[in-house]
């Protein structure tokens, strides 16, 4: 039986990944500062602890793991990473986690490790035109990410690649482009645009207006969690190191994203554009490399993923309003 360690198993992607690995029959140990927020972990063992702490990480690696997924990070949506308030925490916390986990894996002979990097590593100068961003993998240098979060991800990509070159680690690196779905942050200050706008739409009376940060003409693409997991597993089990984009090429403006969610909710809503953390003007996944190397494409259109996500977020909103627990 395959033995797997998931770091960040209490988080959005880590929690879903544990469920997927269990469904495949693996034995899974999860580690995180916290338990998953909305349903019990499916992990065989869930260890609470701080991955910044070397002693804790040493204890986690008390056995050989066939696969390690490193998803733990200090991260959030635009309202968390682009305000500048959390820069030092984000860089210190995530760098310490990566240094500890990777080095301990290497020293204990656990060779195969997945690292979750981000589209935020791409240079701001290629993401100024909302209609024509360039996020091809080979456009990462000369480096100019627009956030310290992006710089830490780029540093850690290089850290993992150096362990591959010097210590024979089997490293796999993905650059995620805005992953969304049920059981992600939706109201804790770390929520990204899909969940945030689902919440605002769910809370709004028909005919009211919801707040959008910026002019809403900034563009993004969003990948549904199930498609993300399929790509992660294909990458991990391939002989391709990456870094490679894992995202959708269905680029939309944030205004259109809000309209799609309002239509799903069956509400006629206006928009009030307000100042807010905006990040880059345009971003879209470029999937040419992953198509070529892994023969992978997203399967779920944005609208279908939003419908599933809206159903879950609106349930959370109703439960919070009535003071009852939601799933």
How many CB atoms lie under 10 A from the CB of residue 215? 14
Contact indicator for 124, 144 with CB cutoff of 8 Å: yes
| Per-residue tokens: 16 | 């879903």
Could you say which of 10, 130, 194, 282 contacts ligand NAD (CB under 6 A)? 10
Contacts (CB under 6 A) with ligand GDD, residues 1-60: none
Stretch that binds ligand GDD, among 52-60, 108-116, 124-132, 208-216 (CB under 6 A): 208-216
Contact indicator for 20, 234 with CB cutoff of 8 Å: no
Q: Helices in 211-300 by DSSP H: which ranges?
A: 225-236, 254-265, 288-294
Residue 78 interacts with which of ligand NAD, ligand GDD, none, CB < 5 to 8 Å by class: ligand GDD
Per-residue string for binding with ligand GDD, 101-140, x by CB under 6 A? -----------------xxx--------------------
Contact indicator for 246, 290 with CB cutoff of 8 Å: yes
Could you say which of 104, 127, 178, 253 contacts ligand NAD (CB under 6 A)? 178
The Cα 287–Cα 269 span in angstroms is 33
Per-residue string for binding with ligand GDD, 222-261, x by CB under 6 A? --------------------------------x-------
Query: With binding defined as CB under 6 A, does residue 220 bind ligand GDD?
Result: yes
**Angle formed at CA 55 by CA 50 and CA 61, multiple of 5 degrees:** 90
Contact indicator for 130, 281 with CB cutoff of 8 Å: yes
Contact indicator for 31, 6 with CB cutoff of 8 Å: yes
Residue closest to 248 by CA, chosen among 296, 220, 285: 285
Tell me how many helices (H) and strands (E) the chain has.
Answer: 10, 13
Query: With binding defined as CB under 6 A, does residue 156 bind ligand NAD?
Result: no
Per-residue string for binding with ligand GDD, 267-296, x by CB under 6 A? ---------xxxx-----------------
The verdict on whether 149 is a catalytic residue reads yes
Question: How many chain residues interact with ligand GDD (CB under 6 A)?
Answer: 26
Query: With binding defined as CB under 6 A, does residue 118 bind ligand NAD?
Result: yes
Q: Which residues bind ligand GDD (CB under 6 A)?
A: 75, 77-79, 81, 118-120, 149, 176-178, 191-193, 196, 212-214, 218, 220, 254, 276-279
| Catalytic center residues | 149
């Amino acid at each position: 039986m395959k033995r797997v360690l998931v770091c960040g198993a209490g988080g959005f992607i880590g929690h879903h990944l544990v469920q997927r690995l269990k469904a495949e029959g693996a034995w899974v140990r999860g580690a995180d500062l916290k338990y998953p927020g909305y349903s019990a972990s499916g992990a065989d063992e869930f260890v609470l602890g701080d991955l910044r702490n070397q002693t804790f990480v040493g204890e986690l690696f008390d056995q050989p793991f066939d696969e390690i997924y490193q998803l733990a990070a200090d991260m959030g949506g635009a309202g968390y990473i682009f305000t500048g308030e959390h820069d030092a925490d984000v860089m210190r916390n995530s760098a310490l986690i990566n240094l500890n986990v990777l080095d301990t894996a290497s020293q204990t002979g656990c060779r195969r490790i997945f690292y979750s990097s981000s589209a935020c590593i791409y240079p701001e100068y290629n993401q100024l035109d909302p209609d024509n961003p360039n996020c091809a993998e080979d456009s990462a240098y000369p480096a100019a990410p627009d956030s310290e979060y992006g710089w830490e991800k780029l540093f850690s990509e290089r850290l993992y690649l150096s362990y591959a070159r010097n210590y024979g680690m089997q490293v796999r690196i993905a650059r995620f482009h805005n992953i969304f779905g049920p059981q992600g942050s939706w109201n804790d200050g770390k929520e990204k645009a899909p969940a945030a706008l689902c919440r605002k739409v769910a809370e709004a009376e028909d005919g009211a207006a919801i707040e959008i940060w910026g002019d809403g003409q900034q563009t993004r693409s969003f990948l549904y969690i199930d498609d993300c997991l399929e790509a992660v597993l294909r990458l991990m089990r391939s002989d391709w190191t990456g870094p490679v984009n894992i995202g959708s090429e269905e680029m939309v403006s944030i205004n259109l994203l809000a309209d799609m969610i309002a239509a799903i909710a069956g509400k006629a809503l206006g928009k009030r554009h307000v100042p807010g953390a905006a990040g880059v003007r345009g971003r879209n996944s470029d999937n040419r490399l992953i198509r070529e190397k892994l023969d992978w494409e997203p399967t779920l259109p944005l609208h279908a993923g939003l419908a599933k996500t809206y159903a879950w977020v609106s349930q959370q909103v109703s439960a919070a309003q009535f003071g009852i627990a939601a799933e």
